[in-house]
Amino acid sequence: MISISNLNQNSKTLLKNFTRAFVNSKKFVQPESFSFTKENQSKVKDILKNYPEDHKESALIPLLSLAQDQEGWISNAAINEVCNITNCPRIYGYQTTKFYSMFRRKPIGKHLIEICTCTPCMLNGAEDIVKATKDELKIDLGESTEDGKFTLTEVECQGACANSPVMVIDGIYYENLKTQDIQKIISQIASGKKPKPGPQNEN
């Protein structure tokens, strides 16, 4: 039998990455059904009123967004339900959620960390911010922490280039970041506190 202690460093890293990918994939289960909550059913009606009766498909994106707001992500069942409501071929729903990166196609942790890696942020150190965050959480981009508290992802321009590099956590912007800000922000959120939003280089 092969013992782990006999593996070289490359093999150990490969095994670790495979195990992590397996653990992350095991957590990802597609629900068999989806339905909007009572409150959201009335929002669905309001959204549909914005479009002509014979062009319900125009409500595809707003309804997919509503489904995501409800569940935190969009399952296959949610896409199918939205396509039923809008009379869209299901493939439109799958293509739309695949094309727009703001749609999340798998469950996320309690807190979503989005780091901008577009050009201005990249030129101002986004790569170091990504690395510091990965090191702090011990996960890679696209993964969630074992305790389900954090999901880490990279995103395109968040519209705050003047204060780059930028990270958005649960919709709140943290700007002018330095690597030493990361540990403080994440630990405060993990303990239920609210870190100071906006530029981190101002008191």
Rounded to 5°, angle at Cα 147 from 146 and 150? 85
- Nearer of residues 64 and 132 to ligand FES, judged by Cβ: 132
Closest approach of ligand FES to the CB of residue 5, in Å: 44
Min dist CB 164 to ligand FES, Å, is 5
Residue with smaller CB distance to ligand FES, 67 or 155? 155
Which helix (H) or strand (E) segment holds residue 189: the answer is helix 179-190
- CB nearer ligand FES, residue 59 or residue 155: 155
Judged by beta carbon, residue 161 or residue 172, the one nearer ligand FES is 161
Helix (H) or strand (E) holding 33: none
Contacts of 42 (CB under 8 A, 6+ apart): none
User: Please, which residue, 59 or 160, has the CB nearer to ligand FES?
Assistant: 160
Give the nearest distance from C-beta 163 to ligand FES in angstroms: 8
CB of 148 to ligand FES, least distance (A): 27
The Cα–Cα gap between 190 and 71 comes to 21
Q: Is 157 annotated as a binding residue?
A: yes
Pairing relation of β-strands 150-155 and 111-116? Answer: parallel
Cis? peptide before 165, omega within 30° of 0: yes
Question: What's the burial of 79, exposed, middle or buried (CB within 10 Å: 0-12/13-18/19+)?
Answer: buried
We find the least distance from the C-beta atom of residue 69 to ligand FES, in angstroms, to be 23
Q: Has 118 been labeled as part of a binding site?
A: no
* Whole-number Cα distances in Å, 173 to 105, 160, 169: 23, 9, 7
Task: List residues binding ligand FES (CB under 6 A).
Answer: 116, 118, 120-121, 157-161, 164, 166
Half-sphere exposure of 76 (CA within 13 A, CB side): 6
Question: Binding site residues for [2Fe-2S] cluster, as ranges?
Answer: 116, 121, 157, 161
Question: Binding site residues, as ranges?
Answer: 116, 121, 157, 161
